[in-house]
Amino acid sequence: MIACLRPLLALCFAVLLSACASPPSSTLGELPRTPQASIEQLLLQADESKPEQAALLRLAAANLAYQQKGLARATSILEQVQLNDLKPAQQIYASTLMAELALAREKPKAALKALSHPSMERLGELPIEQQLRTQLARAIALQADGQPLAAARERVYIAPLLNGEAAQRNHDAIWELVSGLPDAQLQTSEGSDLAGWLGLARAAKTSGTLQQQQAAIDDWLTQNPQHPAALQLPPALSKLQQLSSQPLQEIALLLPQEGPLAAVARALRDGFLSAHYQAQQAGQNPPNIQFYDSSRISSLDEFYRQAQAAGVQLVIGPLEKPLVKQLSDREQLPITTLALNYSEPGQEGPAQLFQFGLAAEDEAREAARRAWADGMRRAVALVPRGDWGDRVLEAFRQSWQAQGGTLIAAEHIDQPVEMARQIAELFQLRESEARTKRLKSTLGTTVAAQPARRQDIDFIFLAATPQQAQQIKPILAFQYAGDVPVYATSHLFTGNHSDAQYQDLNGIRFCETPWLLNVNEPMRQQVESQWPQAGGSLGRLYAMGADAYLLAPRLGQLKALPDTRIDGLSGSLSLNPAQRIERQLPWAEFRGGRVERLPDNVN
């Protein structure tokens, strides 16, 4: 279908070009010419010219000021031109310039308003250069305004009119826009070339192995051989082709077999091997796994020399934070490595290093995302004292405020008695009680007044141990704040499903790994039959180990296609620009002492 439409499009543009080459109609008016003078000379000439010619000269001067990055001066000159007194061609020119100035000031809505002027109905009668300028401004404004599909539509429309570097930039921009669209928008029924771009983005988001994803892209290429993206495949997809042709055959699993982290390492290893055996049972051809003891290696350099000699293509580990920091301090690594812990926040690592862990910061960011999607806007936070609580609070604060939320106050909780006082202060109950006492003293009689809490708090963000969390709800009820929603991290959930244990947590919402929320997950049942502890809080480590196996062949894929998500057992996994795996988690709520999974909220 696309191949058939191309000659027709070419004919249409040829007719359009010839029409634009003809003299403009008297009602359309003429566009400002490229000036051979300075801004000052143009303005001086405008002051001495008749109104219509003066307007053209001022438009040219304003445009020249804009090209020279003089935004304030360009705006000032443009304000001297009365838009309603211009002819349509000049109105389009002026409106486009207004939009470009608004975009330079990061005001996309103002730009779109300028580009909605009624004169735009005659844009197709203007020279191609002006059409491109106006439509490119609209595409940029739509993207900045959070309308990527509409922006892609504009860019696809102008693509046949471009050549050289401008065509390449537009081509890359179209892929950037469509590849980041949510699945629902990729199903939109569109015509011709845009439909092809959307289909390619759907193929690139195919879940499954790297080979399955590449097969979907190959099918698209077969069905759309003349599409612009088929003639020039986006670089990320070219990289994907290269990756799929180089299967992963040898993995080194680098974990401590002795020391304080040995128990954690065993859970990670068992989860990793369970995923490996499941892949074998499914008829796949999984890579060979070589085991190394990180508690016994003399140096990382020596380990990598051994691994290279053994043909290792990917290292999973280490787990120990000091070793991860050593790797992160290096300029490069001899073998691609997926560390099972994180270096310090903000520390840039080498290109070959990826990092994955059960970071509490992920859950803090997830709580901010979910609360915002649920319509919450004003928060208070309760976190434990110490470095862990500080890190969780900072992650929540940054994510919450980046979305536009307000963090009214935060408290570091400790002992139950102290918690009651802290919560009372958060909700300003002490001030309410003091007002009642003053009133009683003034009137000299008993005042029947119930303390009133502040009403501008939408929810509480909570990071706490199970023991701390069981104190929170009763304290909130006692402090007249029992109706305030609570969004918590997974740390209050032990993994056990005990009605009596969770009665005091009723109403609290918390994020958790799919492993612990889905008791019917086949791999969990298989692992739990052999290691019963996998059904409790240690289950998160088994899930992480299984997901490390899932990630192993797809790190290059995540890097090439940053919008890719992998549905794992520790969460929905993606890669951030620092090459750290981030988890998006499902949600549950304690109801009647039971844990009930909540519907996903993707708003």
Could you tell me the end-to-end alpha-carbon distance of the chain, in angstroms, rounded to an integer?
35
Residues 6 or more apart in contact with residue 198 via CB below 8 angstroms: 178, 181, 185, 186, 187, 188, 190
* Mean pLDDT along residues 267-290: 91
pLDDT the model gives residue 347: 79
Q: pLDDT tens, 410-467?
A: 888 876 667 777 777 777 644 434 443 443 444 444 433 344 446 778 999 999 888 8
pLDDT the model gives residue 411: 87
pTM of the full structure? 0.71
Q: Which residue type occupies 223?
A: Q
Hey, what domains does the chain have and what are their CATH numbers? 2-192 (1.25.40.10), 247-355+521-573 (3.40.50.2300), 360-512+585-597 (3.40.50.2300)
pLDDT the model gives residue 103: 96
Query: Looking at residue 374, what DSSP letter applies?
Result: T
* Mean pLDDT along residues 26-45: 86
Q: pLDDT tens, 7-21?
A: 333 333 333 333 333
pLDDT the model gives residue 556: 87
Q: pLDDT tens, 282-295?
A: 888 889 999 999 99
pLDDT the model gives residue 127: 93
Least confident window among 13-22, 349-358, 576-585? 13-22
pLDDT the model gives residue 8: 36
- For the beta sheet containing 314-316, the strands, ordered from the edge strand earlier in sequence to the opposite edge, are 288-293, 250-255, 314-316, 336-339, 353-355
The total number of residues shown for the chain amounts to 603
The 10 Å Cβ neighbour count of residue 285 is 8
Least confident window among 92-106, 287-301, 430-444, 523-537? 430-444
Query: Which DSSP string corresponds to 391-424?
Result: HHHHHHHHHHHHHT-EEEEEEEE-SHHHHHHHHH
β partners of residue 572: 567, 584
Query: Looking at residue 24, what DSSP letter applies?
Result: P
